[in-house]
Each structure stands twice: as C-alpha cells, then as structure tokens.
Amino acid sequence: MIKKRKFKFTTTQIILISFLVTIIIGSGLLALPISSKSEEPVSYIDALFTATTATCVTGLVTLPTVSTWSVFGQIVILLLIQIGGLGIITIMSGLMLLLNRKMGIGDRLLIQDSFNLNTMSGLAKFVKNVLFGTLIIEGIGAALYMLVFVPDFGAKGIWISLFNAVSAFCNAGIDIIAENSLCNYATNPLINIVTSVLIVLGGLGYIVWWDVLRVVRSRSSKNRRIFRHLTLHSKIAITVTAGLILFGAILIFVFEYTNPLTIGKMSLFDKIQVSFFQSVTTRTAGFASIPQENLTNASATISIILMLIGGSPVGTAGGMKTVTVAILVCSAFATIRNRKRATLFGRRISEEAVKKAVAVAVAFITICLVSTILLMATSSASFIDVVYETVSATATVGLSRNLTGTLDTLGKLIITVTMYLGRVGPISLAVALGSKNESQNVISEPTEDISIG
C-alpha cells in the first residue's frame, strides 16, 4: 500500500499565513456593528484595510480612527497592532512558556524564522526577554504620556496613553487623539521626546537591545569604550539610525524653514524639534506632527528616502532596513575602489550577506514600483503623492499626503496588498512561494563574462 505523502508548511509559510489569518479575523471583528461608534457597520473593504494597516503596523487609514471606531473597535485595533509588532509566533510562544510547556524543534524553527535569527540557542530566553522588555517600555511610555493626556482628556487620557505607547513602540502610527494625528502636540517637548524614543527603541531591534545590555553589564563602569565591544550588527544599526535621523532633521529644517504651512511661523526651538520628529517618524512610525501634504517637494523626497530605508532588523520597524542599506553602500564603494571584500568597522562582510541585501532591495523596490504604477493607473493624484503613499505602504510607515482617504475600492485593495507584502518581507514571500532548492549535485552552468555599466 502506497502511503500518501503529508504536506507540510515551511516555517516561512506559517509566518505568512499567521499574518493573513490575523488580518482576516481582525477585519471580521471590525466589520461588526459593535466596532463602530455609530453602531452602523463600516464597509468590509474599510474594515479589511484597517485590520491590515494595524496588523502590518503601517498606520495608513481610510477612516479616522478616533471618530470611526468604538472602544471595542479600538481594542481590536490595539490588539492587532501588538500582534503585528511582536508577531503572532512570538506571542504564541510566550503563552506556551507561561503555561510551562516546552518548545519543540518546530516551535524553535518558527521563532528563528520570524526573527530572522542565525541560531536556535537560547530562543526561550530570547522570547521571554522580548515580551518582558516590550511590556516594560510600553508601560513607561504610557505613564509618561499620561502626564499630558490625562490633564487634557481626563480619565480617557489613560486609554489614549496606553494606545499611543503601544502604537509608537510597534511603529504603527495609529492614534486615537485627533483626526490630524499629533499635529495638536507638534510643539510639545514631552510628547515629541517620548514618541521619538519609543519609535527608535522599537525600530533598533531586540538584538541591539540585548547586545548593548550585555556590553554594559560586562564592562567596568569606568570603561567608556562600550561601542567598541558591540557586535557588527549593533554598530551598523546604531550608527546608521543616528546618522539618518540627524541627516533627515537637518535637511527638513533647511527645506521647511520658511514654509508657513509647516514650521515657517514657529520659533527656532520648535522648528528644530518638529524637524527632528519628522525625521524620526519617517523611520516607519507614521505619526504626523505637521500635515505631510504641506511639505515642500524637497522635504517630501527626503522623507521618501528615509521611509525606504526604514528601521533595523529584528524589530518592529519596516523598510529595507538600515543594515541592508549599509551593506549595499559599503559593497558598492568597495567595488568602486577595486577591493575584493567590503568591510565595516574593521570586519569583513560576507558574500552571503551582500547577496541577501541585494535580494531584499530588489524585491522591496519591485513592490514599490508595481504598486506605484497600479495606483497611478487608478488614481488622478500627483506623482509625488502616489509615490509617497506606496513607499509608505511598502515600508509600513503610515504617513500620507492626504491621499489614503480619497482612494476608491481598487486603490484601497492595491494599498492593502502592498502593506501586507511590505510587512511579511520580500525575502520571506519569495521563500514561501518559491520552489524547492535546487540540488547541489547538478552540473553548474558555464560562466561567461558580460559588460556592466
């Protein structure tokens, strides 16, 4: 008797499906009358769009969150944001550990793939640290927000503070403060600082957290050379993140300095803090303290570049990622200087890392281009508005030049699919849908030189 071969999902396919199932369940809940403030169910396409933007921690919305969704609907959205930020695999693994259930090899492979880790050692501890660290940071953020929101909104300010803290840390950019996001608090230093810190901590990635803590604990308090003892990954993530935030803030400050529709009428201090916040929020956070449609074309272009790069790997941020871009730039300069190997901080970058970086960048840009072409074909919006929207969706940022709410059904579907593809990752999608690896025993094809450039 011939035994039927059982079909098994790959770990990457399970991750993709888990996000999809979460979105479907979330959209079903948001389509219920109880989720709407008016007690009239919203259209399913808007419920699907909202569930996707929350689960994919993007932040683009077709309906104002604060005025559309009831408390129940807002709770659903918050849960989707938290699940999307941490990943359903992490949350399920955390529940297993809470119930004292041991993690099998399959569970460990799932966690390894969901966080793109290179080893399976210490995964149980890693999951515990991720969950515990996330709750602590979000709790501190919520407590600090309450200093402003409780006096402004009363008891409701507690819920607003909690929602905003989770959304900021997960780089979701969805808020329940006002329909114009954080524009009413554009010049509030506490809101700017707390939101920026939450965004950066979520975007740096968990690996960087533990690496910094490891070095701090292992080094003497008198030894100030902490940076030297970090891993190459952490050095790249921290350096590129700091450099991009500073680079973006300076350019936005210069380009918007005399723009009366953004920061032109503000004091020097307010111009500086708003420029820094705009630079930080483009790192896939999506909160807006100034209307994005009022930015000059130069500032909008800088914002698009920052959105494309995004945050760092193994965190809550999206984009091509800081490490990916750093490897690409470093490899390009090494080629220009006729060097065989690319190096960063005195360490050689492996060819495998360069290949992965190229694959991620190509897949990411392809999604952006296809989405832009499709949206241009179905929308009468200007080119820069469409590019801003599609890059924001692919990089799971959530900033919009007031275009999202004007999209028709087809346009909403295009952005919905773009957000999903941007969140699950171009490489993960390629692996999940691709065929089996080619056998290593086959004869290699002959090599032939071609002209480049």
Predicted confidence (pLDDT) per residue in 48-88, tens digit? 999 999 999 999 999 999 999 999 999 999 999 998 888 76
Handedness of CA 26, 32, 38, 40 (dihedral sign): positive
Query: pLDDT tens digits for 359-389?
Result: 889 989 999 999 999 999 998 999 999 999 9
**Class of residue 437 by CB neighbours under 10 A (exposed 0-12, middle 13-18, buried 19+):** exposed
Nearest to 111 by CA among 94, 139, 136, 89: 89
Tell the burial category of 435 from Cβ atoms under 10 Å away from its Cβ (0-12, 13-18, 19+).
exposed
Q: In this predicted structure, what is the pLDDT of residue 268?
A: 96
Q: Is residue 207 part of a domain?
A: yes
**Is residue 176 a contact partner of residue 160, using CB atoms and an 8 Å limit?**
yes
Which residues contact residue 302 at a Cβ distance below 8 angstroms, ignoring those fewer than 6 apart? 248, 251, 252, 255
What local confidence, expressed as pLDDT, does residue 121 receive? 60
Q: Cβ(171)–Cβ(201) under 8 Å?
A: no
Q: What is the pLDDT of residue 120?
A: 58
* pLDDT tens, per residue, the chain with 453 residues: 455 555 566 666 777 788 899 999 999 999 999 999 998 999 999 999 999 999 999 999 999 999 999 999 999 999 999 988 887 667 766 666 665 666 555 556 556 555 555 555 666 777 778 888 889 999 999 999 999 999 999 999 999 999 999 999 999 989 999 988 999 999 999 999 999 999 999 988 888 888 888 888 886 545 567 788 888 889 999 999 999 999 999 999 999 999 999 999 999 999 999 999 999 999 888 899 999 999 999 999 999 999 999 988 877 888 899 999 999 999 999 988 888 888 888 889 888 888 888 888 998 999 999 999 999 999 899 999 999 999 999 999 999 999 999 999 999 999 999 999 988 876 565 555 444 454 445 556 776 767 666
* Assigned domain for 5 exists: no
Rounded distance, CA 110 to CA 87, Å?
A: 11
pLDDT at 19: 87
How is residue 448 written in tokens? Answer: 């032939």
Residue 2 covered by a domain: no
Query: Does residue 445 fall inside a structural domain?
Result: no
* 303 inside domain: yes
Q: Assess if residue 391 is contained within a domain.
A: yes
Q: How far is CA 371 from CA 36, 367, 431, in A?
A: 30, 6, 21
What pLDDT does residue 246 have?
A: 96
Query: Domain residues for 385?
Result: 11-430
Structural domain includes residue 92: yes
**In-domain check, residue 451:** no
- pTM recorded for the entire structure: 0.88
Counted domains in the chain: 1
pLDDT of residue 36: 95
